[in-house]
Amino acid sequence: MTEQIKAIDIISTVYFAETAALQPGWLANFLSKKIGQDQSIVQGLTIAQTLEKMDRAGVERALLAANKSGSVGHPVSRRVPVEVAAAIIAQHPDRFSGLVGIDPTEGMKGVRELEYAVKELGFVGAHFYPHWFDLPPDHRKVYPFYAKCVELDVPIMMQVGHCLRSSEDRPLRSVGRPITRDTGACDFPELKLIGIHVGWPWTEEMISVAWKHPNVYIGSDAYAPKYWSEPFVHFIDSWGRDKVLFGTDWPVIDPERAIAEIEELGLRPEAKRKFLRENALRVFKLPG
């Protein structure tokens, strides 16, 4: 690295040896068979080991998502209580910040939890998996959460593109094509909305939505940088240098691998600084 940039990973999952009880069996199977992740990571690194990995990668801070993947009571759902994420963050406040998971079916109960997590626990944003609830981002049940995010002045990120997970126990329909962000961005122009997972396979569609709306951004997580499309890399390096934020979706992508492969992309210094760090500091109002 010619310039040591202290990267910010905008999306990381609560997936540690210490939180193994929250990790359903299907998740390890998904990481092994669908992603091909290293078994040491699949089994769960300790928090200390994860921090060491972040140090080696040059990642200063990661945003931990207290995910809500599916409704309460479903046998393959995964839900991380905000208190669990908050406890980890409290131990390492200079390395982690929190994202509160959104379940649109919870209505005002979920809206109040969002407010609690931001105001009382210091979380810096919200996280939503549309596919797990079979609700597209422009569904009316999501709008109260958008309104609360605007009121609290925090971003909301959500999975964009297709849903990679499909199995007999819980086949998930893909409902998150990037253009579905357009309606929400029109209805809530002040909302800071981040489309994570690069929008694949509709990455150029995601680029078009991000370029149209001043407060729509793209997260680069869940797909290894060496597989990013040429238009996406060009967007990061040129006209979209203010619109893309670095992420891994840990444990899906290893931060050491991600940073190493980003170095091979040949990004211009200014674009790389914005992508790896400065855009996240600005959008999430993180301490810099």
Q: How many domains does the chain have?
A: 1
Residues written for the chain: 288
Could you tell me if residue 56 is inside a domain? Answer: yes
Tokens at 282, concatenated: 């600005």
Could you tell me if residue 288 is inside a domain? Answer: no
Question: pTM, whole model, 2 decimals?
Answer: 0.94
pLDDT at 12 over 70: yes
Q: Any residues with CB less than 8 A from the CB of 236 and at least 6 apart, and which?
A: 220, 244, 265, 267, 271, 275
pLDDT at 24 over 90: no
User: What's residue 15's pLDDT?
Assistant: 87
In the structure, what pLDDT confidence band is assigned to residue 77 with cuts at 50, 70 and 90?
Answer: confident
User: CB–CB of 156/149 below 8 Å?
Assistant: yes
User: What's residue 183's pLDDT?
Assistant: 96
Q: Any residues with CB less than 8 A from the CB of 135 and at least 6 apart, and which?
A: 104, 105, 141, 142, 175
Could you tell me if residue 146 is inside a domain? Answer: yes
Could you tell me if residue 40 is inside a domain? Answer: yes
pLDDT at 262 over 90: yes
Could you tell me if residue 2 is inside a domain? Answer: no
User: What's residue 32's pLDDT?
Assistant: 66
Boundaries of domain holding 100:
7-283
pLDDT at 76 over 80: no
Could you tell me if residue 14 is inside a domain? Answer: yes
pLDDT digits (tens, 9 = 90+) for 89-115: 999 999 999 999 999 999 999 999 999
Report the CATH number at residue 161: 3.20.20.140
Could you tell me if residue 179 is inside a domain? Answer: yes
User: What's residue 73's pLDDT?
Assistant: 66
pLDDT digits (tens, 9 = 90+) for 145-198: 999 999 999 999 999 986 766 555 667 777 789 999 999 999 999 999 999 999
Angstrom distance (rounded) from CA 261 to CA 265: 7
Q: Compute CA 101 distance to the chain's CA centroid, rounded to the nearest angstrom.
A: 11
Q: What average pLDDT does the chain have?
A: 92
pLDDT digits (tens, 9 = 90+) for 131-147: 888 899 999 999 999 99
pLDDT at 1 over 50: no
CA angle 286, 54, 233 (to 5 degrees): 75
The mean pLDDT of 28-43, rounded to a whole number, is 70
Choose the most confident range, by mean pLDDT, from 15-29, 36-50, 216-230.
216-230
In the chain, the percentage of residues whose pLDDT exceeds 70 is: 90
In the structure, what pLDDT confidence band is assigned to residue 211 with cuts at 50, 70 and 90?
Answer: very high
